[in-house]
Amino acid sequence: MKVTWLGHSMFLIENDEGVRIITDPYHEYTGYSPPKISADIVTVSHQHKDHANISIVEDSPKIIDSIGNYNIKGVTIEGISSYHDEVKGKKRGNNIIFKFNIDDVTLVHMGDYGEPTLSKEQVDALKGVDVLLIPVGDRYTIDGVQAAEVVHRLEPRVAVPMHYKTRVSVFDISTEEPFLEKMPKAKNIGRTIELTASSLPKETEVWVMEYSS
């Protein structure tokens, strides 16, 4: 499996059979340059424009924007209910956590997760996650300290921060630094990572991916 960070909360995930998945495609008002890109599947964690600009994705992909279980082209996906804020969606509505099983690796994309702590149901649903893509930027999502607590609770093999202030992001959110200060094993890993079940680290590591337009 290959995972490429396209900025904000948007990733391109490709399995060994060439199935392409896009998560949370963004709008240019984020400061990032939306690529025109092809995919078989697009997941949308919620309907805000910085996560739901499906017009940039070509080839008529299958759109998944609701909770439930899916099996598309051999990829199993589970949409898990959560909230975009700390008051059960009263400020910013609902959010979907997506759990993928790809090439025997379990990958979770947290979307704009905003709850102060994981519920027991969420912990049970996310048990066994290998790769966790987690927002750390605060204001619209959990902050770096809360994100670190999620990582400690779920114990993924790899945690990848997303949805934080970068050199191109125009959002008034935090950088990744408060999260990294709480995580002892962190390293820069580049724009694209290749993963297999056997190559995953034995203990949790934080991999900071690189954005390039």
Q: Which residue reads 């998944």 in tokens? A: 64
Convert 195-205 to b/e letters by CB count within 10 Å (16 or more is b). beeeeeeeebb
CA–CA separation, 82 vs 77, rounded Å? Answer: 16
**Domain at 2-209: CATH code:** 3.60.15.10
For residue 92, what pLDDT is reported? 87
Gap between the Cα atoms of 128 and 31, Å rounded: 34
Q: What is the tens place of the pLDDT at every residue in 139-196?
A: 999 999 999 999 999 999 999 999 999 999 999 999 999 999 999 889 999 999 999 9
What is the pTM assigned to this prediction?
A: 0.96
pLDDT-above-90 percentage for the chain: 91
**Model pLDDT, residue 186:** 92
Task: Categorize the per-residue pLDDT at 212 as very low, low, confident or very high, splitting at 50, 70 and 90.
Answer: confident
